[in-house]
Amino acid sequence: MATIKDVARKAGVSVCTASRVLSNKGYLKEATKEKVLEAVKELGYVQNRTATELKTGVSDTIAILLPDIENPFYSHFANVIEKYAYAKGYLLFICSTAYDLEKEEKFLRSMSARNIRGVIAVPLTADISNYRKYLGNVPLVIFNRDIPDNEALCYKVDIKHVAFEVTSHLIDIGRRNIGCIFQSFEIGNFKKRYEGARESILKANIEFREENMIFDAGGPDTESKLRKLFSRKDRPDAIFASNDMLAFMVYKVLNELGLSIPSDVAVASIDDTLMADQIYPTLTSYSFPIEEIARLIIDGFAYKQHEYTNKILKGQLEKRMSTAVDHKQKV
């Protein structure tokens, strides 16, 4: 079995340099990295991760806590994170909390007993006291939550402004009877999405109709609520869905009722999951800068550059068929 000394000899570098390449520590020339990695490949060298952890006290594992891995937005986020993590020599440990605070705490408790290099999290609430309680000084990066600047590094978009922008787009294409659908305000940042949508409607001097709002969506009664909404004579002519999963439910119900998108009801959403560009009609949705965020997070772990602050990034609204002004096709 090949050893680190064999790799160093094959690559023509010192054992220290070979070790630094494999542990991704410090600055090294790309040519040096390539020689070492090629030697690893040729020799079939497998690093003894247990020995490395015992020596350094830190593993090469990064944990990521997501609220719902079945949501295509979060599965895509995890996939992109894994891509950048693997390129830096890290392994990814994925935990799905299923919107369960008790389960979230259990995962955190488990991580406190592991030599985790860092944690990436989409907490269920803005209160991350449990994260600090169990993780201590383990580097922590929060994604898309509103937390105080001094508690962790957080990459996010201004979600209230995003909701304002998406709803304003529906108004810009001539819709005046706007409906909205949200998940529970107790989780995530759905209240901010509600505030942004409401502000957009009121700023346009359009009546904000509470009867057009669906709250606590996502459960088994969501489709019946949507059927009731769209069966009214004064049904909305546009829907702001606070995420793509809810937008797809809107599509399903409109299809069942024989209503067309966007002729009868225009639909716009947030998340821009992979399905948004594949469903028919294609869905207008706000796209997060996932690639940029993933790169910044993993580079931060690699170069230990995690300051405690909120970093607001910008995505863009992908305008597609579901809000096209002259589109007449059925769902």
Which positions ≥6 away from 173 have C-beta within 8 Å?
238, 262, 266, 323, 325
pLDDT at site 57 = 45
Please say whether the beta carbons of 276 and 244 come within 8 A: yes
Please say whether the beta carbons of 122 and 134 come within 8 A: no
Domains of the chain: 4-47 (1.10.260.40), 56-157+289-314 (3.40.50.2300), 159-287+317-323 (3.40.50.2300)
SS3 annotation, the chain: CCCHHHHHHHHCCCHHHHHHHHHCCCCCCHHHHHHHHHHHHHHCCCCCHHHHHHHHCCCCEEEEEECCCCCHHHHHHHHHHHHHHHHCCCEEEEEECCCCHHHHHHHHHHHCCCCCCEEEECCCCCCCHHHHHHHCCCCEEEECCCCCCCCCEEEECCHHHHHHHHHHHHHHCCCCCEEEECCCCCCCCHHHHHHHHHHHHHHCCCCCCHHHEECCCCCCCHHHHHHHHHCCCCCCCEEEECCHHHHHHHHHHHHHHCCCCCCCCEEEEEECCHHHHCCCCCCEEEECCHHHHHHHHHHHHHHCCCCCCEEECCCEEECCHHHCCCCCCCC
- Residue 63 to residues 96, 113, 126, 202, 298, Cα–Cα distance (Å): 11, 13, 19, 42, 12
Whether the CA torsion 65, 68, 72, 75 is positive or negative: it is positive
pLDDT at site 51 = 47
Angle 54-59-62 from CA coordinates, rounded to 5°: 165
pLDDT at site 116 = 84
Two tokens at 64? Answer: 């990521």
- What's the predicted TM-score (pTM) here? 0.80
Rounded mean pLDDT, 147-161: 88
Query: What tens digit of pLDDT does each residue of 290-325 get?
Result: 999 999 999 988 776 667 788 999 999 999 999 998
- Let me know how long the chain is: 331
Q: Pick 119 or 16 by higher pLDDT.
A: 119
Query: What tens digit of pLDDT does each residue of 225-272 get?
Result: 999 999 999 999 999 999 999 999 999 999 999 999 999 999 999 999
Q: Of 156, 211, 140, 204, whose CA–CA distance to 180 is shortest?
A: 211
Two tokens at 197? Answer: 């949508």
**Lowest model confidence (mean pLDDT) among 39-48, 104-113, 119-128:** 39-48
